[in-house]
């Protein structure tokens, strides 16, 4: 039922998509659109093969790719305010759903994840090479590429490392595999450090915990040693690095100052907490359908709800929006529709990957956790989908991993019924 030439191109696209994801503008978007065109012809020509006799897991996952577009459109209709540009990000999820349908009928349960892991390794190296060759793209002293800011760049570099690191969880890996993985860890750590992004530091620690628990899942002692070592290394870096000390101490002081007095908005942590209060105030007033981007109430109006709000924080909020992906979804779509969107994008995938990974037999759900956890951790304090290409890549990776799991589970079920 497959066109082998088309399938080869699709596998090549899976490998190539992560390579220049963070170093060439539009790279991943272009690959997604080309692959969708290729597989759509296959699905249209053999629609019964792709949609007949599918189980509840398939339809639930497919719904996850459709829901973000549905909730965004519903919120806009509810506000009587249609904004086509705001549909762009959710549309990437929908297009990735088409890839999921195609991938889920492939019988090779290793080729796609191998291609994704190789491409992600090269993607990390391309980021490091880009920073070395083009230092002028830095934001003052903070690492960035010419189109990715110092906050988004390390977040998704860590997510790429999650694919590589967890994808190498096997006992027969070669010395070359181990060397390449070590280099990928070093480059990712360097990018995170150079970016001075505290959210990426936390995401990197979160990935370390995930790796430790999965790598040593049969030994509580080894898990404890691995986690203790990770904490010790972090404290050591903090003790010798002036940059990390300054950034961490500034965040703690600003948060304590804001919580205790309402001040501290000269620090970014205090500003983020003030913007959290703004988001909560907006949710109370726009509970059902949220508030359109760029339509923030006046400073004087918000000052009534948040008396300590400064004009600098209001300015940042006006131009940068929410400093949390979770709150951004709720504020833009309302509590119910935004919550449904968060479930589709984050919580259902997290539950699905975790529940399947406990069987210990399949690699894709473990890779999914390694990819998803850093993004979710970062999403608590930054907007991880502030750039459209990040929505594209996130949906693209989910379509591959979900499809590999569904296909593998179908094969296992077929073998058990023989």
Task: Return the HEC string of the chain.
Answer: CCCHHHHHHHHHHHHHCCCCCCCCCCHHHHHHHHHHHHHHHHHHHCHHHHHCCCCHHHHHHHHHHHHHHHHHHHHHHHHCCCCHHHHHHHHHHHHHHHHHHHHCCCCCCCHHHHHHHHHHHHHHHHHHHHHHHCHHHCECCECCCCCCCCCHHHHHHHHHHHHHHHHCCCCCCCHHHHHHHHHHHHHHHHHHHHHCCHHHHHHHHHHHHHHHHHHCCCCHHHHHHHHHHHHHHHHHHHHHCHHHHHHHHHHHHHHHHHHHHCCCCCCHHHHHHHHHHHHHHHHHHCCCCCCCCCCCCCHHHHHHHCCCCCHHHHHHHHHHCCCCHHHHHHHHHCHHHHHHHHHHHHHHHHHHHHHHHCCCCCCHHHHHHHHHHHHHHHHCCCCCCCCHHHHHHHHHHHHHHHHHHHHHHHHHHHHHCC
Are the beta carbons of 202 and 377 closer than 8 angstroms?
yes
Provide the pLDDT for residue 268.
84
- Which residues 6+ apart lie within 8 Å of 266 measured at CB? 254, 312
The pLDDT score that the predictor gives to residue 412 is 67
**Per-residue pLDDT, 172:** 55
Angle (CA) 398 173 372, round 5°:
20
The pTM is what? 0.94
Residue 130 has a pLDDT of 97
Tell me, what's the pLDDT at 258?
87
What pLDDT is stored for residue 3 in this prediction?
Answer: 72
Q: What is the pLDDT of residue 266?
A: 78
Domain boundaries defined on the chain: 4-240+326-416, 244-323
Residues 178 and 168: their CA atoms lie apart, in Å, by 8
pLDDT of residue 339: 97
b/e map of 178-194 (b: 16 or more CB within 10 Å)? eebbeebbebbbbbbbb
Average pLDDT for runs of 10 along the chain of length 418: 79 96 96 95 91 93 97 94 88 96 84 92 96 95 95 96 82 72 94 95 94 88 93 93 91 88 80 90 92 86 88 87 91 95 97 87 89 96 92 97 88 66
pLDDT, residue 347, reads 97
Q: How far is CA 239 from CA 172, 225, 243, 312, 364, in A?
A: 37, 21, 10, 32, 37
pLDDT at position 180: 86
Q: What is the pLDDT of residue 170?
A: 57
């Amino acid at each position: 039922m497959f066109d082998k030439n088309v399938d080869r191109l699709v596998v090549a696209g899976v490998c190539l998509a992560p390579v220049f994801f963070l170093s060439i503008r539009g790279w991943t978007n272009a690959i997604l659109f080309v692959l969708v065109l290729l597989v759509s012809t296959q699905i249209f020509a053999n629609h019964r093969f792709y949609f007949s006799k599918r189980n509840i897991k398939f339809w639930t996952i497919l719904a996850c790719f459709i829901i973000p577009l549905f909730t965004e459109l519903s919120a806009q209709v509810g506000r009587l305010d249609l904004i086509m540009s705001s549909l762009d990000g959710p549309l990437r999820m929908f297009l990735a759903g088409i890839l999921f349908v195609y991938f889920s009928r492939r019988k090779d349960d290793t080729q796609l994840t191998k291609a994704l892991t190789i491409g992600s390794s090269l993607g990390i190296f391309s980021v490091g090479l880009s920073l070395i060759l083009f230092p002028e793209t830095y934001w003052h002293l903070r690492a960035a590429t010419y189109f990715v800011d110092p906050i988004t760049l390390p977040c998704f570099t860590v997510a790429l490392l999650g694919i590589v690191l967890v994808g190498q969880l096997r006992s027969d890996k070669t010395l070359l595999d181990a060397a390449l993985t070590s280099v990928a860890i070093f480059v990712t750590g360097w990018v995170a450090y150079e970016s001075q992004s505290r959210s990426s530091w936390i995401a990197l620690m979160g990935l370390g915990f995930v790796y430790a628990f999965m790598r040593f899942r049969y030994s509580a002692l080894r898990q404890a040693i691995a986690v203790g070592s990770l904490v010790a290394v972090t404290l050591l870096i903090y003790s010798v690095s002036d940059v990390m000390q300054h950034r961490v101490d500034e965040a703690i002081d600003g948060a304590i100052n804001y919580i205790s007095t309402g001040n501290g908005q000269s620090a970014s942590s205090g500003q983020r907490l003030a913007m959290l209060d703004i988001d909560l105030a907006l949710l109370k007033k726009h509970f059902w359908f949220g508030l359109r981007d760029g339509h923030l109430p006046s400073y004087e109006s918000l000052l009534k709800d948040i008396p300590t709000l400064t004009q600098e924080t209001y300015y940042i909020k006006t131009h940068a929006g929410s400093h949390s992906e979770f709150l951004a979804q709720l504020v833009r779509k309302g509590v119910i529709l935004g919550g449904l969107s968060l479930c589709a994008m984050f919580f259902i995938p997290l539950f699905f990957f975790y529940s399947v990974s406990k069987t210990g037999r399949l690699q894709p759900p473990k890779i999914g956790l390694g990819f998803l956890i850093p993004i979710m951790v970062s999403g608590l304090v930054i907007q991880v989908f502030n750039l459209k290409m990040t929505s594209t890549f996130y949906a693209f990776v989910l379509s591959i991993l979900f499809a590999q799991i569904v296909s593998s589970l179908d094969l296992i079920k077929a073998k058990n019924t023989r």
